[in-house]
């Protein structure tokens, strides 16, 4: 398994490293720790008006900026941070092959670019836990990576727990190929003994409009449709639970009514879950994600615990064999 870990030395980045001990990861992993710094070229020295005007018209190539940045103190500090994280990971995972690198640019963009280059199975980023308004105004590295990465992403929020204690995992199930991939991923991991999984199927109920409430036949049709959806979810949950029980996990199933963007996070908080696994519907472009919204991104933004957004593993014609729109731009 190949993992790319974004690390900036913050408290949430440290928590993300600790969280990996409760992620069910294998004993043999190729892990790359990447620390990113943003460096700008210095302003030109005082000069005549004409020279300054000419200088303003000159475009500085990106490679010159990178050459300057590589020798800067900020770049050296980023490399030091990455190596510090690598030392910590080696102590926790002695069987892993761990390397550390530094890069310059936008953190989200650089993580996605590196993922396109190295083709990891999973990207791990910490969450600063900003409010919805702050995320809208300031942006978020984790949300940027979630939106543009072609592989699975774990938004980690570590908690103080012993690494070998049982883990509680919530998996969102809706019968889609994406949620099936999330179930398979959980089943493939190595969890501590007595770890538990709660499979939650969310029934986003149809509700009759004003006209539907006036005409009883319309209301009856909607009720029948909601009941059919519930029965269908029961079958999906049972099939998924059988798959997980083969991995010796204790499995509970539950159907909740409501919006999955809210319900999954609430269920995880009530249960004291360590993590939530959800599939990604795989919109074809970022505009679709913006217009239609994304359950996985919403859950990752709101949840109190770690959230892993699962995308299918790479194949010869797989999704993240293609370069992402984000890293190209």
DSSP string, 185-230: HHHHS-PPTT-EEEEEEEE------HHHHHSHHHHHHHHHHHHHHH
Q: What is the CATH number of domain 2-41+60-328?
A: 3.40.50.12370
So what's the pLDDT on residue 321?
43
So what's the pLDDT on residue 227?
73
So what's the pLDDT on residue 316?
44
So what's the pLDDT on residue 66?
58
pTM: 0.79
So what's the pLDDT on residue 35?
95
> Measured between alpha carbons, how far is 82 from 104 in angstroms, rounded to an integer?
13
So what's the pLDDT on residue 89?
96
pLDDT means per 10 residues, the chain with 329 residues, are 94 90 94 85 54 58 57 83 96 96 90 95 83 49 88 85 83 89 95 94 66 57 69 91 92 91 93 93 52 73 91 55 47
Decide the pairing of beta strands 152-156 and 306-310.
antiparallel
């Amino acid at each position: 398994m190949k993992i790319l870990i974004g690390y900036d030395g913050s408290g949430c980045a440290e928590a993300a490293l600790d969280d990996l001990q409760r992620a069910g990861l294998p004993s043999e992993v190729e892990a790359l720790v990447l620390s990113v710094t943003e460096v700008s070229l210095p302003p030109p020295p005082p000069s005549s008006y004409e020279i300054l005007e000419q200088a303003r018209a000159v475009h500085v190539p990106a490679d010159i900026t990178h050459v300057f940045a590589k020798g800067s103190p900020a770049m050296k500090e980023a490399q030091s941070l990455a190596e510090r994280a690598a030392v910590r990971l080696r102590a926790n995972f002695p069987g892993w092959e761990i390397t550390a690198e530094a890069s310059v640019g936008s953190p989200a963009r650089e993580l996605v670019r590196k993922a396109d280059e190295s083709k990891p199975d999973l990207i791990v980023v910490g969450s600063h836990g900003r409010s919805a308004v702050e995320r809208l105004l300031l942006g978020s590295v984790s949300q940027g990576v979630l939106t543009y990465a072609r592989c699975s992403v774990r938004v980690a929020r570590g908690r103080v727990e012993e690494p070998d204690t049982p883990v509680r995992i919530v998996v969102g199930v809706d019968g889609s190929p994406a949620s099936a991939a999330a179930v398979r991923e959980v089943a493939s991991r190595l969890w501590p003994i007595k770890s538990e999984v709660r499979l939650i199927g969310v029934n986003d109920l149809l509700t009759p409009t004003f006209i539907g409430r006036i005409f009883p036949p319309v209301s009856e049709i909607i009720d029948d449709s909601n009941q059919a959806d519930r029965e269908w979810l029961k079958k999906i949950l049972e099939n998924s639970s059988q798959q997980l029980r083969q991995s010796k996990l204790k499995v509970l199933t539950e159907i909740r009514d409501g919006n999955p963007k809210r319900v999954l996070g609430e269920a995880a908080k009530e249960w004291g879950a360590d993590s939530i696994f959800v599939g990604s519907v795989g919109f074809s472009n970022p505009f679709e994600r913006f217009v239609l919204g994304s359950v996985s991104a919403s859950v990752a933004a709101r949840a109190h615990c770690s959230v892993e957004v699962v995308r299918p593993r790479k194949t010869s014609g797989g999704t993240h064999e293609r370069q992402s729109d984000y890293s190209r731009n």
